[in-house]
Amino acid sequence: MSTIEAAAENAHDAHGQHHDHDHPSFLAHHFDTPEQQFDSGKLGIWLFLVTEILFFSGMFCAYAIFRMLRPDVFEGCSQFLNTKLGAINTGVLLFSSLTMAWAVRCSQVKQDRGLVGMLAATLSCAMIFLGVKAIEYSHKWEMGLLPAGMFFYDPANPHPESHTNYLFYICLPFMILLGGVVIWLLTSLVTKNRFHIQCAMPLTVAAACFFVGIGLGMVLESGDSEHVSDSHHSEVDHLAGNSPQVTMINSGDTEVLERLAADATNSGAKSELTARQRQFETAGTTIVQEGDDIAGAIVSVEENVMTKRKAGVFFSIYYCMTGVHAIHILVGIGFLVWLLVRAVRKDFNPQYFGPVDYVGLYWHLVDLIWIYLFPLLYLIR
């Protein structure tokens, strides 16, 4: 039996007086036991995750339909999505899932410093992810790879002179955030406010990690030319060139045909002869051998997919899915910061770790979505 006694400074209640309940302050009045409180919250967060899954499924459905109907567009556009950056982001998010699960464990065994460290690590990974995303997005905007309607990519001029530095504008809010947190850290150091110092330090590290992500993205993007355009060629299958030059073969019946065609009244024979001659010309001068494998068909036709209706829609789907995912990351960052402050305040114990667990579930869902997004968007061939 282990009822955790609420610390004196935490004891407060809605009536403004000190009850002599024997229930700890973290147990809400309408619950009998901490376990019941935890279970209720757990069911609540699972239901929320169900709504999130259904929410994303709408976008996955759009992706599935468009890919089913226009696979050529996907192949043509996949060259613009840098697989390396996507893989780095996957690794970073998986690691953040590890640290989040570890944080939940720390909260359950009352390892307060471990908890703060793990939450800070999760936050840092989230910021690195956003930094890499910022590089990807700004690079695409410069090239004109925008959602349909704003799409203006030009294969003949893939890197137009851009007047707006998109990367700077994306980084601006994060720079302001980093500046704010650093100022908070410095003032708390000066005023020697322990609680504030303990909060501000991990948050400074996390805010700085956004720029680690930017740096990572820049290094990988420049060292990797993702514009290897494997454009499709129009091809006609033909034989390997060991073909001698030949003239039109005059088999027996062609001679007869020529003699008949010489007579002006035989227009049918004449046109057959001209047809044969033209056919000979277009067929080229290769000789067909016995047992040669000829398809004689057009293997693929170059079709320009870099239009608003095709590549534009692809990028609409791309920005919608990754953008909404990034918004979820931002919301998760907000919750993690809240948890971090509560963890520094040592709010959690083996009977009250619900908030950490619930935010953990949300974070794992965000990772889950990315696990599916990555192969579907970045690993198309």
Partner 1 sequence: MSAHGDSKDGYDFAHPIPVPMLLAVFGALVVLTIITVAQASFDIGSLDIVVVMVIATIKAALVMAFFMHMAYDKPFNVIVFLSSFAFVALFLIFTMSDSSQTSPDFEPVIEEAATEMASPAVEAPAASE
* 204 vs 286, beta carbon nearer partner 1: 286
Q: Considering the complex, what minimum distance in angstroms separates the CB of residue 371 from partner 1?
A: 5
CA 263 vs. chain centroid, Å, equals 73
Please state the closest distance from residue 222 (CB atom) to partner 1, in A: 20
Query: Closest distance between partner 1 and the C-beta of residue 23, in Å?
Result: 11
Measured from the CB atom, is 101 or 239 closer to partner 1? 101
Would you say 67 or 270 has its CB closer to partner 1?
A: 67
Nearer of residues 193 and 229 to partner 1, judged by Cβ: 229
Closest separation in Å from C-beta 121 to partner 1: 13
User: In whole angstroms, how close is the CB of 174 to partner 1 at the nearest point?
Assistant: 27
Pick the closer one to partner 1 by CB: 57 or 250: 57
- Specify the residue, 276 or 364, whose C-beta has the smaller distance to partner 1: 364
Return the number of the residue (188 or 351) whose C-beta is nearest partner 1.
351
Closest CB 299 distance from partner 1, rounded Å: 9
Residue number with CB closer to partner 1 (30 or 233): 233
Q: Please report how close the Cβ of residue 30 comes to partner 1 at its closest, in angstroms.
A: 14
| Among 96, 103, 108, 113, CA closest to 344 | 113
Cβ of residue 166: shortest distance to partner 1, in angstroms? 19
